[in-house]
Amino acid sequence: MILDGKKVSEKRLEILKERIEESGLYPRLATIIVGEDPGSQLYVRMKHRACERVGIGSIGIELPEDTTTERLLETVARLNNDPDINGILVQLPLPKQIDTTRVIEAVSPEKDVDGFHPYNLGRLLAGTPVYAPCTPKGIMTILAEYGIEIAGKRAVVVGRSIDVGRPMAALLLNADATVTICHSKTQNLADEMRSADILVSAVGKAGFVRADMVKEGATVIDVGINYNENGKLCGDVDFEAVRERAGAITPVPGGVGPMTIATLMEQTFKAAERKACISVL
Ligand SMILES: Nc1nc(=O)c2c([nH]1)NC[C@@H]1CN(c3ccc(C(=O)N[C@@H](CCC(=O)O)C(=O)O)cc3)C=[N+]21
């Protein structure tokens, strides 16, 4: 079974559009991008397009490559204090002169629709999440949409980043999976991966997950964003070989990526609802 993230994201965005309309709210997202990285610019453009589609206002702030941490902190503070802004997204990665941790911690937790602030990561780890990082949250949504059971299953997450691996493990644990986090120093990695009922790869190497590392019938979630030798977007998983063994698998493109953006939209609306003290998701 192919887990069609594109299709699920479209459906979620349609539902969200109606909910926003009915709410009478006009949520607003501010994005900040530092520098000229074409990849980052593409993703931010996609986020603005999604905003437009569902009825979220968006403002894009573009700062030069040589922006200082202080200057970026001032921009964040201004958006924190702007009552018309519900969500603030600082596109990562930031240029190397910038102290990313300070910037993430400067975003008001109520406007942290990316879910990267330590308050929100702490709430997630405590099992009482408010905003969770959009990529792993989107993965939980796609698993739910396809009725894939999580409770009691063995989940193996390969990768321990703050935006994917760590929060993914926390979300799966909150859903009662037995969770293992693997990384570059893990011994017998292939054996660990073969034990997974749910295997999440967030490694960043094309062809990293081969068919012999996947248990028959397992659910395989591919978070990789790589480009092959022909310059084509591909994930971590050897898709054609692995799909024969997997029970369910997400493609790249059309899998996890669109779910990330749909989740960002949902969390931005949630921020507007919480500000207006209406129902809480
Ligand atoms: N503060 C912050 N928040 C983020 O959420 C964030 C970020 N920084 N930095 C970069 C990553 C990456 N990311 C993606 C979103 C959508 C697709 C997506 O929709 N991809 C399409 C393909 C797009 C294409 O054609 O390249 C797909 O997989 O089908 C991919 C990647 C969000 N990120």
The model's pLDDT over 120-161, given as tens digits with 9 standing for 90+, comes to 999 999 999 999 999 999 999 999 999 999 999 999 999 999
The question of whether 91 is a catalytic residue gets the answer yes
Is 43 a pocket residue for ligand 1 (Cβ < 6 Å)? Answer: yes
pLDDT bracket for residue 280 (50, 70, 90): low
Asked whether the predicted pLDDT for residue 279 surpasses 60, the reply is: no
The residue annotated as part of the active site, out of 4, 112, 114, 238, is 114
Is 252 a pocket residue for ligand 1 (Cβ < 6 Å)? Answer: yes
The model's pLDDT over 61-93, given as tens digits with 9 standing for 90+, comes to 999 999 999 999 999 999 999 999 999 999 999
The model's pLDDT over 12-56, given as tens digits with 9 standing for 90+, comes to 999 999 999 999 999 999 999 999 999 999 999 999 999 999 999
Mutate to test the pocket of ligand 1, among 8, 43, 45, 47 (most ligand atoms within 8 A of CB): 43
Is 181 a pocket residue for ligand 1 (Cβ < 6 Å)? Answer: no
- Angle at the Cα of 269 from the Cα atoms of 126 and 95, rounded to 5 degrees: 75
Is 134 a pocket residue for ligand 1 (Cβ < 6 Å)? Answer: yes
The question of whether 114 is a catalytic residue gets the answer yes
Is 32 a pocket residue for ligand 1 (Cβ < 6 Å)? Answer: no
| In contact, 136 and 121? CB cutoff 8 Å | no
Query: Which pLDDT does position 118 carry in this prediction?
Result: 98
Atom of ligand 1 nearest to the CA of 252: 28
Mutate to test the pocket of ligand 1, among 12, 250, 260 (most ligand atoms within 8 A of CB): 260
Query: Residue 155 and residue 179: Cα distance in Å, rounded?
Result: 5
* Number of Cβ within a 10 Å radius of residue 226: 17
Residue 240 CA, ligand 1 centroid: distance in Å:
23
Atom of ligand 1 nearest to the CA of 134: 5
Q: Is 160 annotated as a binding residue?
A: yes
Q: Is 138 annotated as a binding residue?
A: no
b/e string for 15-46 if b means 16 or more Cβ within 10 A? ebbebbeebebebbbbbbbbbeeeebeebbee
Residue nearest to atom 18 of ligand 1 (CA): 257
Asked whether the predicted pLDDT for residue 6 surpasses 90, the reply is: yes
Task: Please state the rounded mean pLDDT for residues 241-262.
Answer: 98
**Percent share of the chain, pLDDT over 90:** 97
Query: Which pLDDT does position 278 carry in this prediction?
Result: 60
Q: What is the mean pLDDT of the chain?
A: 97
The model's pLDDT over 89-122, given as tens digits with 9 standing for 90+, comes to 999 999 999 999 999 999 999 999 999 999 999 9
Is 159 a pocket residue for ligand 1 (Cβ < 6 Å)? Answer: no
Complex ipTM, two decimals? Answer: 0.98
Single-letter amino acid code for the residue at 101: T
Q: Retrieve residue 30's tokens.
A: 């501010």
Query: Which pLDDT does position 206 carry in this prediction?
Result: 96
Query: Which pLDDT does position 188 carry in this prediction?
Result: 98
Is 254 a pocket residue for ligand 1 (Cβ < 6 Å)? Answer: yes
The model's pLDDT over 165-221, given as tens digits with 9 standing for 90+, comes to 999 999 999 999 999 999 999 999 999 999 999 999 999 999 999 999 999 999 999
In order of their start, the domains of the chain are 26-109 (3.40.50.10860), 134-256 (3.40.50.720)
* Number of Cβ within a 10 Å radius of residue 70: 10
Query: Residue 255 and residue 2: Cα distance in Å, rounded?
Result: 9
| In contact, 153 and 194? CB cutoff 8 Å | no
Query: Which pLDDT does position 277 carry in this prediction?
Result: 83
Query: Residue 73 and residue 69: Cα distance in Å, rounded?
Result: 6
**Percent share of the chain, pLDDT over 70:** 99
Residue nearest to atom 21 of ligand 1 (CA): 257
